[in-house]
Amino acid sequence: MKFEALMNDQAAMRTFSNVSLSLKKIGKTCILKLSKNKVFFIFSEKAIGFRRPSVWCELPIRFYFEEYEVVRMDKAKNDIFLELPTASLAETCSILKQNTNLVKIKITESDDSDAIYLTFDMELPMRAVKLLAEKYWSGYGEEPASNAFHASIQMPQWKNIKPVVDSIKNLSEWISLSIEETGKLTLENFALDIDTSAVKLKADFPELLVHSFVPANIPNTDEDNVKVTATIDSKKFLNYLSGMQILNCPAICSIAHERLVKLSLDAPGRVKLQIFVFQFLT
């Protein structure tokens, strides 16, 4: 098993550092998938019962690396899967913003143990990682299918939406999101028991850019006031948004009615990030 890469572009290093900081805010541990053409950072919801990706971030090789090589002993299996702590990655990559001219990244295997390290060659300590067991590889092999959404809308600016989501999180474990065809996004707290939250907080963000609105097959819909809605974990929603804003790209919210919320951003040629948050089960 061999992985070696070289970064020597300042813009690429700054973006890579920002991506690592976003990952730290999203979760504690992720899977680093090293493939021939892209680098992937993937999070999964283990509590679901099987490893289904909940966050899928991909970086194109051409923008970030001057040199890049991935080699496995078994040529039929071209990808390398590593499990690594995001805090360690973010701490290491923060140095990339400090006028670093060149950094070499490689996998280092210890001579006297089974330990594996992801090494950043710029006079920094090695970071221990774990080789993901082969039985889990299939769960991270392909990008999650994500085309069955009833509505997609551009998110408000971070400075406008953060105080609202933060307040809702303090009131309730759950937040409801609704999209209307007019371009209005509505956020409000939701309680399973009406007596658990005496305060109702609701915020409307009108005149946002609607990317798609296809409310077919939504039951009990008022044709004059069609809303596509989902209710998700408010803390997760805030954490994901705070991670995405570091990348300074417009974010899109897509909803599969009463089933799934997808948060996504795409900076062509630099980074593509997709986050999947399933509606809670009542």
Domain count, the chain: 2
DSSP E strands in the chain: the ranges are 2-7, 29-34, 38-44, 53-60, 67-71, 80-85, 103-109, 116-121, 127-131, 151-154, 174-180, 185-190, 202-205, 210-213, 227-233, 252-256, 260-267, 271-278
Phi, psi of 281 (to 5 degrees): -95, 125
Within a domain: residue 56?
Answer: yes
Within a domain: residue 146?
Answer: no
One domain for residues 100 and 161: no
One domain for residues 174 and 126: no
One domain for residues 156 and 265: yes
Span 101-158, pLDDT tens digits: 889 999 988 776 678 889 988 756 677 888 888 888 888 878 887 668 999 999 999 9
Domain limits for position 135: 2-140
One domain for residues 95 and 177: no
How far, in Å, CA of 237 to CA of 228, rounded? Answer: 17
Span 90-99, pLDDT tens digits: 998 988 887 7
Span 169-196, pLDDT tens digits: 998 899 999 999 999 999 999 876 555 5
One domain for residues 11 and 134: yes
- pLDDT for the residue 51: 63
Within a domain: residue 136?
Answer: yes
How far, in Å, CA of 166 to CA of 149, rounded? Answer: 26
Within a domain: residue 145?
Answer: no
CATH of the domain at 248: 3.70.10.10
One domain for residues 6 and 43: yes
- The pTM is what? 0.85
Where among 140, 172, 192 does a domain terminate? 140
Average pLDDT value for the chain: 86
One domain for residues 181 and 268: yes
One domain for residues 10 and 120: yes
One domain for residues 263 and 205: yes
